[in-house]
Structure 1
Amino acid sequence: MDQTTTARAKGSRKPLWTKDFLITALANLLLFFSFQMLIPTIPIHLSQLGGNNVQVGLVIGIFTISSLLTRPFAGRALDILGRKHVLLVGLTICALTIAGYTYIAAVTLILAARFVHGIGWGLSTTSLGTVIADIIPPERRGEGMGYYGLSNTFAMAIGPLTGLWIMQSYGFSYVLLISTILAILSICSSLFIAYPKPIPPTNRAKSQRFTDRLWERSALLPSSLLLCTAICYGGIVTFITLFGHEAGIPNVGFFFFCNASMVLLVRPITGVLFDRKGPEWVLLPGAAFTITGLLLLSYANSNLSLAIAALCYGVGFGSIQPALQAWTISRAAPDRRGAANGTFFSANDLGIGLGAMVLGAIANWSGSYALMYRFSSTLIIVFLLIYGWSIWSYSLHKKAAH
């Protein structure tokens, strides 16, 4: 169904663990660690400055919106201007904004800074995803994306805990200092990447309308699948603490630790499986584990049952996301990888935002976070229906071609 099959058939495996792969993964790790340290600490800081619940919620919402709006333009800029310039601009915006939080004491100005920070985040993460797609050999794309994604997972597992510990021990100013240093180190690392030259656009790409150039149509299928899983994830990260209060589970942070541990374990395995067998061998089992994890979570009432739910969900989440990203890159033309990554990451941002809003409304209507998680599992059924339809339509097209 895509270019990975052709690449697998061509024979020799090129090296994956190159200097550029390691440096790009390091730059990504530093950026994500810097970002993850701020997720639990900025809302606390804002409330200490007198911000109300709505303003605390806007800290996440404004950031997500600006990042979402930026990604299509970031993808287009990557394909025209090249990877290096867009990445450096994005990382610089992130570093300057984080450093600027130190000197801002007004709630409204912090919210404005979060909008700017979201722009830098959209530019940086879309750029790094495109750079790593250029570096990874096509025949090892699933494996490479799986290993690359471990830098995100490690930061997600350790970054928030580190940020909270530093804030409680030394104060928020030290959180910002270390976060800024990490962002600067990410900039320094990115300077040592050997970026490929931009690929000239094809005649078809030149004739596209401006709006079509911002979005990559070949990325819409995997991005729509990602949207379904991202909505579910948005419901987890937003409401897991409130669900813990409802279910009588005191330490729901254990969910993220177990989830991240399983993601670290399965991503290298499922990446190799993607390269050798194709996306269906990863996406279908991943969907089954995701549904199981969500349903088990909805019935959890102890740390043990929460951990089992997290382990199942971690297998699904850890399998699906890198496989979809590798599939997105495989379906796109080389001169459209930036736009493809912009489309893919936009679906992720949109899904997390929708998960917070839509699933929150369902929880409010039903009066139960457990029911909300059971409802969210139906989105994975939608995932399976969309994927099943794509396989069926592809088989029909293949028969018609013969």
Structure 2
Amino acid sequence: MLPLYMTFNKRFGKFVIMSSSQNDKFNISRNLLVLIVCTAFALINFLQDYFFAINFDRQFEAWEKLFYYFLYFYTWGLLYFIIVFVAGKFKLEKKTWVKHLPIHIVAGAFIAFLHRLLTTIPYLLIFYPDKWREVSLSAIYTKTIGSSFDAFVSYWIILGAYYGAEYYKQFKESKLKEAELEKQLAQANLQALKMQLHPHFLFNTLHTVSSLMQEDINAARKVLAKLSDLLRQTLDNMGRQFIRLSSELDFLKSYLEIEKIRFQERLRIVYDIQTETLSAAVPNLILQPLVENAIKHGIASKAEGGEVKISSSKLNTLLVLKVSDNIGNGNDSNFKEGVGLTNTRKRLVQIYKTAFSLVIQCHPRQGFSVTLTLPFKEYDPEENDDTT
């Protein structure tokens, strides 16, 4: 019986320790688990004895065996709490194991003796009362001491399982903390990138106002009014990592109205938006830097101006966003990313890791284009609101 008992004891310790907690709810679950496991072990050992007796045609006292195994394992269930207390109080760690090891040896011997005493005396009193009267206390003491070795070994099995589970728990907690720190760092980096984009856009708009103040006061006032609308939209979406593509386009249209005042007929805007993409979730303020880049390096560099095209489409499970102009004024070899494109790429890496693509093409005749491919996902207000 000892090998089976020791095997199950090892599992018993693991199961119990994994469910231990300071929280009341977890304490109830732990206590219930101890009860279930002890009951299961008692029944398994009882059935093992039963089938052994059947196979070898031996006498089998069912009630006696059932009582003994329930008493045996329920006693371990009670002593388990003492073992866990001692293990937590006197931890066998690198700096303390030499000092605490003797304590555990004494505790193990005491608990082993106590277990045998608590199981032997009730068993004899109930099933062998006549023999109980004939047995002296010294004989009981000697027999209990002699049969306590397996219980002593069980103490160390439970102790080892406890420390194994504790170290695993600490390992998981450290991993969770590490993941949380990485998440906070990523959020901080994203926020820093946003803070770089907002002033960049704001200063450019104020520069537009400053230029118009010398040429057209009414136009400057219109720009300031549009700027206030933009700032309101920015504040409304400040706490959101993702917004609907339709909201992103609304913001973009407000921004382009300002640029239209500045460039007038030199700036022509074309939209090619698939209706099914309007509900897609996109990173907040993801298109504005791309459009601003097209205007700054394309439209603004030509006296006759040009066309900026903004398109969206769904390709299987992907969302494809494209910003392009028709100003052919360079090639891929001499192109360098500015602040807006660089920060946009960094944001996308933080959000999507490698699950995106940002392709920049610069043709001498066809013009400049940026194609952004993202995983297509419907916008969920509950999931994305108040997300930094």
Q: What range is the shorter-chain TM-score in? A: under 0.3
More helix by share: 1
Name the TM-score, length of structure 1 as normaliser: 0.22
More strand by share: 2
Name the TM-score, length of structure 2 as normaliser: 0.22
The structure whose Rg is larger is 2
Question: Which is bigger in relative contact order (C-alpha 8 A, separation at least 6)?
Answer: 1
